[in-house]
Amino acid sequence: MPIVKTISYQFVNLYEKKIWATRSVLLILLLVSHLILQAQTSPSAEYQLKAVFLFNFTQFVDWPEDSFASEQAPLVIGILGANPFGPFLEETVSGEKVKGHPVIIHQYNNAGEIKNCHILFINIEEEKKRAAIILFLKGRNILTVSEAPDFSKEGGMIRFFTTENKIKLQINPDASREAGLVISSKLLRLAAIFNPKESN
Amino acid sequence: MLFKDIPIRKKLMRIIFLINGVVLMVTCVTFFIYEFYIFRKTSTEKLATIGKIIAANSTAALAFDNPDDAKEILSALKTEPHIVAAALYDTAGNLFSEYFSGAGMDVLPATSEIKGYRFTRSHLEGFEPVIQETKLLGTLYLKSDLEDMYDRFRLYAFIAGAVILLSFLLAYLLSKILQKSISKPVLDLGATAKIISEQKDYSVRAVRIGNDELGSLTEAFNHMLDQIQAQNLSLSVFTQNLEQKVVEHTAQLESVNKELEAFSYSISHDLRAPLRAIIGFSAILEEDYSSKLDKEARRITSVIKKNAGTMGQLIDDLLAFSRIARNDMIKASVDNDEMVKEIIDNLAMAAQYDHAKINWVIGPLSPVYADMNTIRQVWINLISNAVKYSSKKETPHIEIGSFVKEGQIVFFIKDNGVGFDEKYRNKLFKVFQRLHSADEFEGTGVGLALVEKIVSKHMGKVWAEAVVDTGATFYFSLPAGNVHKKNVIE
């Protein structure tokens, strides 16, 4: 745990010091990765759907007002780890607005980069690293989403899983509540609710 | 039957029924039209509300591709049995989830391009967008049958029918009572008028009900009756007065007549005594003193005697005339054949005229029921007149007969004598009126007057026809009474 803390502080410092440089680097990286991904084959139907789901979370989750810098501030969907959606997520959100906030996609390479984010898709297979990131993000208004099987148990909020060839959702309402997020009952109704007592 | 020919009572009731019917029809039709539009509006609104609720609940199912959840949401529609079908489409227009009430599988529209709600012939259907915040996630389709409307209309039809029936019943009962206020005075007036015209009783009055036009009509009718009655009364008073006057005048005339008759009787009677003395003494002069009188004296004496005789005859006739008026008639069956034969025989015996040369033609004569003595006088006067006035003919011809005419027995005596000028026929039967001088034919001028008096006393008539120098026919008629009646004093 102290290691994680140290790392996190390092990230913060780094971000503060090299804010513009990092931005530029990230943008370049994004463009490069984007190009690479576009060159690759298009993502599977599963990820296309998941991309739409990611966007649709914006419709069913309420963020606190102060999570936006202004009324026109963007709603950021971040991806931590590899982007499995290809360009499809970008296409899905392009031109979309949620309550006046334009929706944008942000690719993060490490948790330290995460500053102003609303939905974070965590595509990190390593359990400990994932847990450290969840811990790092604790208390911030970020909806964490992952495909990792133990994600809910680790304190993640929404987990994709597949049953009978259908993509289902598991939601950890305690976690989202701690993050100050309100998930619509309509969404909760669809999802499998994570109960920490059952899993323990 | 034409409307104008039906009784006023039925007319009023028909008018009331017609008005009631028209008002009810207009009310019901208006109500139905209003209800029809209100129902369409409310049922559209109701379906839209349901659509919005379902759409709002379906957002997550569409957003996160969960047809099972959508199915569950749609299946909540089974609490609304009139919704026969429902479906969810995604944004691409592909069918996402469907719902059918009952076993029937309705044909769902392939796409969700149509927006809003509309009525088909038997259904109400429409599309509701499924929106989360501002994001369109899909479309909801709902289809409702109109059984609700038909149910309600059936109920309304039943209520309307009951209301119409009840109001017609009430209208019938009320009109039956209320129409009397108009029809009763009219019918009463008609009945009164009928009684009056049939029984001629102008004392009947129509009863006035109320102060309306019918009341005024009744009043005017009664006023008219008052006037008729008053006029009738004055007419009858006038008639009575007239009758009274006639009776009075008749009585006066009768008494004057009686006085006159009594006077003439007593005069005639009193005149006979001195006349007898004149005749008696002139006879004594003729018989006892004829030797002492010269030829001229004897002629004068005979003239005195002859004139006195004539005067005596005149007085006798006058007495007979007045006796007719004074005396009562004793009616009996009179054998006219016998009577006429006897009179002709008597005349022959008296041999006053050249009787043998008269050519008598006597037909069978009807018997009559009359006073024998006076009827005999009639025959004597008329036959002797005929003999007298035909005596100067070479062959006098006298015909006597009878016939029945207009319920009367008419007798006639026809001669071929001197006749008379018809312009004097009015004078014929008046006392002392003569058409010929005494020098030409003897007579007192009483005979025909006497005949007229006797016949009119028998309720008969006397008249005559004549041509100068050719002859005259005298007629008298007597009522054809029962000749076998017992003798009656009239």
Residue B347 domain flag: yes
Q: What would the pLDDT profile of B388-432 be if each residue is shown by its tens digit?
A: 888 888 888 999 999 988 888 999 999 998 888 888 888 888 877
**Cβ <8 Å between B60 and A97:** no
Nearest to A187 among B60, B133, B137 (CB): B60
Residue B357 domain flag: yes
Angle at which helices B180-199 and B8-63 pack, to 10 degrees? 160
Tens digits of pLDDT across chain A (200 residues): 333 333 334 444 444 555 555 556 555 655 555 555 444 445 588 888 899 999 999 989 999 988 888 888 999 999 998 889 888 899 888 888 888 899 999 999 888 888 889 999 999 888 888 989 998 988 889 999 999 988 988 889 999 998 888 889 999 999 999 889 999 998 998 899 988 776 55
Strands (E), B44-94: 83-90
Q: Return the H-helix or E-strand segment holding A86.
A: none
Q: Which residue bears the tokens 């030797």?
A: B291
The last residue of one of the domains, among B176, B203, B234, is B176
Predicted pLDDT of residue A57:
92
Most confident of A5-14, B230-239, B254-263: B230-239
Nearest to B63 among A59, A96, A97 (CB): A59
Nearest to A98 among B57, B59, B133 (CB): B133
Least Cα distance to B127 among B138, B329, B238, B135 occurs for: B138
Q: What is the mean pLDDT of chain B?
A: 85
Looking at chain B, the whole-number percentage of residues with pLDDT higher than 90 is 14
Predicted pLDDT of residue B475:
94
Q: Is the pLDDT score of B308 beyond 90? A: no
Query: Own/partner pairs for B341-345, CB < 8 Å, 24+ apart?
Result: B343/B376, B343/B379, B343/B380, B343/B383, B344/B383
ipTM, two decimals, is 0.71
**Cβ <8 Å between A167 and B65:** yes
**Cβ <8 Å between A166 and B65:** yes
Q: Name the residue type at position B429.
A: F
> A119-149 burial, b if ≥16 CB within 10 A, otherwise e?
bbbbbbeeeebbbbbbbbbeebbbbbbbbbe
- CB-side neighbour CA atoms (13 Å) of A42: 9
Q: Is the pLDDT score of B49 beyond 90? A: yes
Residue B251 domain flag: no
CA distance B413 to B138: 144
Which homologous superfamily does the CATH classification assign to the domain defined by A2-199?
Answer: Response regulator (3.40.50.2300)
Predicted pLDDT of residue A19:
56
Taking CA atoms, B115 is separated from A110, B126, B144, in Å, by 48, 7, 16
How close does chain B come to A8, measured CA to CA in Å? 34
Residue B219 domain flag: no
Residue B258 domain flag: no
Residue B225 domain flag: no
Predicted pLDDT of residue A9:
41
- Any residues with CB less than 8 A from the CB of B149 and at least 6 apart, and which? B36, B39, B40, B43
- The mean pLDDT value for B460-469 works out to 89
Residue B354 domain flag: yes
Model confidence band, residue B230 (pLDDT cutoffs 50, 70, 90): very high
- The mean pLDDT value for B309-314 works out to 83
- A186 interaction partners in chain B (CB closer than 8 Å): 57, 59-60
Predicted pLDDT of residue B102:
72
Predicted pLDDT of residue A31:
59
- A60 interaction partners in chain B (CB closer than 8 Å): 59-60, 63, 132
Q: What would the pLDDT profile of B283-298 be if each residue is shown by its tens digit?
A: 888 888 888 888 898 8
How close does chain A come to B44, measured CA to CA in Å? 26
| Closest residue in chain B to residue A185, using alpha carbons only | B60
Residue B61 domain flag: yes
Predicted pLDDT of residue B193:
87
- B64 interaction partners in chain A (CB closer than 8 Å): 53, 56, 169, 187, 190
Most confident of A35-39, A193-197, B138-142, B212-216: B138-142
How close does chain B come to A191, measured CA to CA in Å? 9
What single DSSP character describes residue B312? H
For residue B147, the enclosing domain spans 3-176
Least Cα distance to B472 among B354, B410, B388 occurs for: B388
The last residue of one of the domains, among B122, B157, B176, is B176
Q: Sheet containing B330-334: which strands, arranged edge to edge?
A: B368-371, B330-334, B488-489
CA distance B336 to B410: 12
Least Cα distance to A158 among A110, A120, A132 occurs for: A120
Q: What CATH code is carried by the domain that includes residue B346?
A: 3.30.565.10
Q: What CATH code is carried by the domain that includes residue B48?
A: 3.30.450.20
Q: Is the pLDDT score of B300 beyond 60? A: yes
**Cβ <8 Å between A190 and B64:** yes
Looking at chain B, the whole-number percentage of residues with pLDDT higher than 70 is 94
Least Cα distance to B60 among B142, B143, B138 occurs for: B138
The last residue of one of the domains, among B149, B176, B203, is B176
Most confident of A155-164, B147-156, B314-323: A155-164
Q: How many domains does chain B have?
A: 2
How close does chain B come to A56, measured CA to CA in Å? 6
Model confidence band, residue B236 (pLDDT cutoffs 50, 70, 90): very high
Model confidence band, residue B448 (pLDDT cutoffs 50, 70, 90): confident
Name the pTM for this structure.
0.52
Mutation pick from B64, B91, B136, B137 vs chain A, by most beta carbons of A within 10 Å, is B64
